[in-house]
Structure 1
Amino acid sequence: MSNAQDVLFKALADPTRRAIFERLCSDGEVTVSALIAPAGVSQPVVSKHIRALKQAGLVQGRQEGRQTHYSAQPDALAPLIDWTARMTGFWESRFDDLEDLLKRMDQ
């Protein structure tokens, strides 16, 4: 597994970070203060999660005055999509092998 995949899996392993990323994907650009109430955690905790998401390339910030507006970067999920496609192919071939075996056993 590549380092990029490791960083993405680690960033998305936390349910709060996943929820923040999903919210940014669905709602578009928002500030930390808009993320605090739905996350059910304090501003420093949300900021910490945003920082981890930024390090993974999943979130980008844009300064506007004193506030930073954050948005999701769904293209950063490409390494996970590639990994999932490889794993899907792996399991599909295993199921095909199992199906062939079961057919031979039925004969």
Structure 2
Amino acid sequence: MVELLTPQLDTVFHALGDATRRQMLRDLAAGERSVGQLAEPFSISLAAASKHIKVLEGAGLIRREVKGRTHMCRLEPGPLASAHEWLGHYERFWAGRLDILESLLRADDARKLSATKKPSIKKKGPRQ
């Protein structure tokens, strides 16, 4: 069960808590990238990019491989699947709550509609 993986989930959510790292993961979803390629869109140094990459590596979200002098990074989707599974519980919770709200609102609308459609009883006045 995912709940038993709380320390791993903590590191995954910590890593996902930074916009730069989330963008790096998005870029890696399209394919392998070098550290320089990951740093480029942010105008950050390779050292700063490397710190972000180390956080992502620590969470198990990416794997870095050294090819000569180039460090290549690749997305590791497993921890994201665990986070998705954990979030899925809350998605189901909120979907259920919203379904209940929707049916309550529909019932309220139907009640209001039927109240306005009831014919009103008119009092008959004197005939001429």
Report if TM-score (shorter chain) is over 0.5: yes
1:15 to 19, 27, 44: 19
Aligned to 1:32: 35
2:65 to 62, 65, 88: 62
Q: How many residues align?
A: 106
- Structure-1-length-normalised TM-score: 0.85
Aligned to 2:122: none
Write the distance in 1 (CA, Å) between the matches of 2:92 and 2:65: 39
Write the distance in 1 (CA, Å) between the matches of 2:65 and 2:40: 21
Aligned to 1:95: 98
SS across alignment from 2:83:
helix
- RMSD, aligned CA: 1.9
Aligned to 2:121: none
Structure number with greater Rg is 2
More helix by share: 1
Structure 2, gaps ≥5 residues long: 112-128
Over the matched positions of the two proteins, sequence identity in percent amounts to 35
- Structure-2-length-normalised TM-score: 0.73
Cα deviations by residue, 1:60-82 (Å, 9 ceiling, x for unpaired): 01121222211111222012110
Q: Say which is worse superposed, 87-96 or 41-50, in terms of deviation.
A: 87-96
